[in-house]
Structure 1
């Protein structure tokens, strides 16, 4: 099993929703020619399938059995990362509000997290990887060559997330978004299994007043000694 100490390089990026980690991770991977591992999408993918199959989201055994029979894959298409569940492209579906509201059932299940960590390490073992999520530097890749923790004021994070919604999603108000984000932050930081936290050796970046390009440049400066960009 790949644990972050093998031949391939791992850049781990953690942080709460809206901190900019997904966008930065995608850009960084593209700039460096690395694989991009969106671990949050993996939990969303399983959530989507569980909802499609009518699996009880409180039944960890049933969820684990479902995951054991589920294939989650990433494929690059037209310069974008697409998520496939059992060969079905679910890239759009896993971002729907219904999935977002239920993903915590999946991410809080210890048996699921154990299986996800194994799969994430396996995927990273296939090549140099930029991995982003909430426990990359603390649990999944504790020996990553570089670790970053991105954060921002919650009002800014909520504004960013609100701006990502499609016009058809705008039944949700900014107040709804910030309330949901507060709940999600509390769940992520207080769960017993792999809570969102900054590892001691991670570089903290406050993105509140920074552009994505500025954040990317800060990260590139920190990793210039281990890769040629």
Structure 2
């Protein structure tokens, strides 16, 4: 299998896109890029610089700050995946909090933010051999991707998984709080004017509501290998 392709994975929040994308990239020896982490990095920057909060959002100021925001990925051999850096600082753990989750969809609505990050993402995919997950990878970032996967699961299932993940990290959250966050993000993601979350016409719809992580990985790996074989 010398031929390399672009694998675009889109879908709703907390469907496990990042987890399985990392697994697939490792199995295929592809590069993994978590596009959602890039939006989370911008959100973290906005929060840390008091540009967004519960009752305020200085959108125009954030747009002016975009030229100061440098996002990079550095592979951590111990963890087995690339961590996110903002202006040289490792923020991998900081961006995975509910604090950031509560604002990331609002940040992702901003056309100027999307334009800046999409340009970076497209640059990363020029050499192919990449697995990228997000909300608009198959529709906007890589519309010509050889394989597009759209992941979904019920909001309740996703809330339970997300709650367990956050609690395992020592964060004090409750189910209703997490479910509310997921439902609000779903609404914003699917209704925004710029690049709303939508399944590409040629994407494989993958509902993992009743699948274990192992079952999910095995099924998706088979789909990926079939797509790579087809591209040979």
TM-score (norm 1): 0.90
Name stretches of at least 5 consecutive residues in structure 1 with no aligned partner.
Answer: 1-6
Matches within 5 A, 1:185-196: 185-196=186-197
- How many angstroms does 1:45 deviate by? 0.5
Which of 19, 27, 31 is matched with 2:27 structurally? 31
Cα pair 1:148 1:205 within 8 Å, conserved: yes
The aligned residue for residue 212 of structure 1 is 213
The aligned residue for residue 83 of structure 1 is 84
Which of 31, 37, 41 is matched with 1:41 structurally? 37
Aligned residues: 221
Farther off after superposition, 59-68 or 16-25: 59-68
- Residue by residue over 1:71-99, the C-alpha shift from the partner in whole angstroms, topping out at 9 and shown as x without a partner, is 10011102132100111000111112221
- Residue by residue over 1:147-191, the C-alpha shift from the partner in whole angstroms, topping out at 9 and shown as x without a partner, is 001111111111100110136322x21121112211111111111
| SS of structure 2 residue aligned to 1:165 | helix
User: Over aligned residue pairs, what C-alpha RMSD do you find?
Assistant: 1.8
The aligned residue for residue 4 of structure 1 is none
- How many angstroms does 1:226 deviate by? 4.3
The aligned residue for residue 110 of structure 1 is 111
- Residue by residue over 1:112-138, the C-alpha shift from the partner in whole angstroms, topping out at 9 and shown as x without a partner, is 111110011112225511000011111
The aligned residue for residue 169 of structure 1 is 171
Farther off after superposition, 86-95 or 173-182: 173-182
How far apart, CA to CA, are the structure 2 residues paired with 1:195 and 1:160?
24
How far apart, CA to CA, are the structure 1 residues paired with 2:47 and 2:69?
13
Farther off after superposition, 30-39 or 8-17: 8-17
The aligned residue for residue 96 of structure 1 is 97
Farther off after superposition, 123-132 or 140-149: 123-132
TM-score (norm 2): 0.89
How far apart, CA to CA, are the structure 2 residues paired with 1:114 and 1:58?
19
The aligned residue for residue 3 of structure 1 is none
- How many angstroms does 1:213 deviate by? 2.0
Cα pair 1:22 1:132 within 8 Å, conserved: yes
How far apart, CA to CA, are the structure 1 residues paired with 2:197 and 2:118?
15
